[in-house]
Amino acid sequence: MNKIVSFLSGLFLLVITFIIVVLVALVYRANERSSIKSYIFQTNNMANQRVGELQDINDISAEDLRNKLIKKYVSEYFKVIPGEKNVENRSVLEALSGSTAYKQWQDGEARTIAAMSEKNMFRIVHVYDDGIAALNRPADYNYNDEFLRPIYYSVRYYTETWEASNNMALTPTIEQGTIYIEAFFRPGIRKDRDVQKYLQDGKNPVELFGFEVINIGNKEM
């Protein structure tokens, strides 16, 4: 009787060992076939602010391109980054501004931004197409005319401001404002820019376009 029990026990242990070996082999094979998939995280749930397909500039209307540049300008004009150094030296804003407009920003909003940044505050800016209005553009105005005239724009913007960074419990303060800018705009790439060198130097592509703000105000000029 003892011999039968010992035989069955040995057989049972042999079966268990075989099952363990099979499971280990399956896990090893599964690990060999595993792969890592990368994803691009969307930083904003709004469809119009997600990364999309590359567009041919010739397929973008003049007003659509103009609006994109105005949005970028206003964002650079008001955004606050916690702990930012040399706030008054924003290369993109300077590239899109005439000397007078840039000096207006340095003497005004830049000082507010520097104070907010020093307190580790964070502010982002939103501008929508329906908030951009050309105030003095003639009905027959052509952005491709040989002799351009500057146009006054009223731009309504919204800001979200966090009093401290890296604190997910904080609710941002949402505010609305309007800025008035006077700007030249011509569709397409500026002829005085070497596109390939510009990009190789790591400069912002927005600086390649024919857009320049020459005057800024907080009320209609």
Closest of 180, 178, 217, 213 to residue 69, by C-alpha: 213
Find the angle CA(62)-CA(209)-CA(203) to the nearest 5 degrees. Answer: 145
Q: How many Å apart are CA 150 and CA 183, to the nearest integer? A: 5
Q: Which residue has the tokens 């390939």?
A: 196
And the tokens for 119?
């307190």
Which pLDDT band, with edges at 50, 70 and 90, does 219 fall under?
low
Q: How many Å apart are CA 72 and CA 213, to the nearest integer? A: 12
Q: Which residue has the tokens 């040399």?
A: 86
Please state the CATH superfamily assignment of the domain spanning residues 61-217 in this structure.
VirB8 protein (3.10.450.230)
Q: Give percent of the chain with pLDDT exceeding 90.
A: 43
Find the angle CA(90)-CA(44)-CA(163) to the nearest 5 degrees. Answer: 60
Side-chain half-sphere of 185: how many Cα atoms within 13 Å? 25
Q: Give the pLDDT confidence of 73-113 residue by residue, as tens digits.
A: 999 999 999 999 889 889 899 999 999 999 999 999 999 99
Q: Exposed, middle or buried by CB within 10 Å (0-12, 13-18, 19+), for 60?
A: middle
Predicted pLDDT of residue 140? 81
The answer to whether residue 49 scores a pLDDT higher than 70 is: no
| pTM for the full predicted model | 0.71
